[in-house]
Structure 1
Amino acid sequence: MDYQTSLFADDTTDSVALAPERRRLTRGAWVDVQRSWLADPDAVFSALVEEVPWRAERREMYDSVVDVPRLVHTYLAGAPLPHPALVEARTALSRHYLPELGEPFVTAGCCFYRDGRDSVAWHGDTIGRGRTADTMVAIVSVGDPRRLLLRPRGGGSSIALTMGHGDLVVMGGSCQRTWEHAVPKVAHAGPRISVQFRPLNVF
């Protein structure tokens, strides 16, 4: 997938410009990509590492309880975000996608992939309204590049997006119901943080 780089901050309004490239998938799903979109990703990465109250989670898997292979934290609706660029990003995303989404992005889920061993398995954000209705999840990535894989739910060929420092990916339409996504383990990778902006009651 070859996307053109477009950004950037509008010097006259201090707003964040959005001009993503859209790829239509199947069954009403789509994905938007905008490279190098986030302003000052170095400062955002540092703030996230230092200020987010990261926690390790455990979950049941088969007959045992295992560590979730990443650190997590979620900023619920109304909670202050750890860097002004993320507030600006959420505002810009809400404004840009309002005609399609019909509501703002209000929560920010954060995942800290400390190295190549940290990952997330195949899944869709289908807890809450994403199970039955079209919605959007906007992901901003900072830190080392990692691949985001997407595949049709129920089987089919996957596609890969490399999310780089400051890149934006938005999954929309039926993507959470009809497709799955994952961040696989890799042999070597530095730390990377993803911030997932979601509407209310989408998980």
Structure 2
Amino acid sequence: MDFQTSLFAAPPQRLRSFEGLERRPLSDGAWVDVLRSWAPEADDIFTTMVSTVPWRAERRQMYDRVVDVPRLVYTYMIGEELPHPVLTEARDALSEHYLPELGEPFRTAGCCYYRDGRDSVAWHGDTIGRGSSQDTMVAIVSVGDPRRLCLRPRGGGESIAIEMGHGDLVVMGGSCQRTWEHAVPKVASAGPRISIQFRPFNVF
């Protein structure tokens, strides 16, 4: 692990408010919210998760062979304690803030550990479960080295890229999961990064 955290410990901080949240409308009722440096204690979240999350390597069928999934993963299901108290606070704050639009709380937290620039996730939408037919949201907190989240209309069209930095919040909402796709592409060089994706019940 070569991500350089801060050299001097800081006292615990609280989450920033949602002031400054910027929404970018996309096509077909999709949108993306971005709020920079939202999560406090990002260094501690990162180091705690590296050492305490029971990371799992997965394999999948790719055409005529089985290959390694290029990242480590773990999902905290409903009722499981999250690995850092800031993440619990983040989930509750997101549930309260987005309740008027979403109509329900965020319940699960999927975690991905991108160890270096070779780790990635291919183009996809979270369409297993209700995301295939209903508007929903996926809220991402990113800690570690910056990486690009790329989005493109499903079926083709111009893509956009959002750089996710240390402690940033990105929320994909509206029809985004079924009308757009997203990816984290490989890069020539990058330090480790962890993505925490908060989702409502039955959205994968």
- Is 1:56 equivalent to 2:85 in the alignment? no
> Helix, strand or coil for the counterpart of 2:91?
helix
Structure 2 match to 1:96: 97
| AA partner of residue 27 (structure 1) | D
Percent identity of paired positions between Structure 1 and Structure 2:
76
Question: Which runs of no fewer than 5 residues in structure 1 stay unpaired?
Answer: 1-10
- C-alpha distance in 1 between matches for 2:188 and 2:62: 23
- For residues 88 and 65 of structure 1, the distance between their equivalents in structure 2, rounded to whole angstroms, comes to 38
**Residues 14-67 of structure 1 deviation map (CA, whole Å, 9 limit, x = unaligned):** 564113100000000000000000011000001110110001000000000000
Q: Does residue 137 of structure 1 match 2:142?
A: no
2:131 is the counterpart of 1:125: no
**Counterparts of 1:48 and 1:177 in 2: how far apart (Å)?**
30
- Cα pair 2:15 2:38 within 8 Å, conserved: no
| 1:84-115 CA-partner distances (Å, limit 9, x unpaired) | 00000001000000000000001000000000
CA-based RMSD of the aligned residues comes to: 0.9
> Matched residues in 2 for 1:118 and 1:110: separation?
14
CA distance in 1, matches of 2:49, 2:15: 21
Which residue number corresponds to residue 175 of structure 1? 176
2:70 and 2:180 mapped to 1: Cα distance?
22
Write the distance in 2 (CA, Å) between the matches of 1:188 and 1:39.
Answer: 26
Q: What residue is the counterpart of 2:17 in the other structure? A: 17
Query: Normalising by the residue count of structure 2, what TM-score does the alignment of the two structures yield?
Result: 0.92
Instruction: State the one-letter code of the partner of 1:173.
Output: G
> How do 1:1-203 and structure 2 match up within 5 A?
14=14, 16-19=16-19, 20-203=21-204
Where does structure 1 differ by over 6 angstroms across 4 or more consecutive aligned residues? none
Is contact 1:17–1:92 with CA below 8 Å preserved after alignment?
A: no
Which segments of 5 or more consecutive residues in structure 2 lack a partner in the other structure?
A: 1-12
SS at the partner of 2:57? strand
SS of equivalent to 1:96: helix
Label 1:15 to 1:144 Cα distance change in 2 as closer, same or farther (>3 A): closer
Normalised TM-score (structure 1)? 0.93
In structure 2, distance between residues paired with 1:118 and 1:179:
22
Name the CA distance, whole Å, in 1 between partners of 2:201 and 2:80: 13
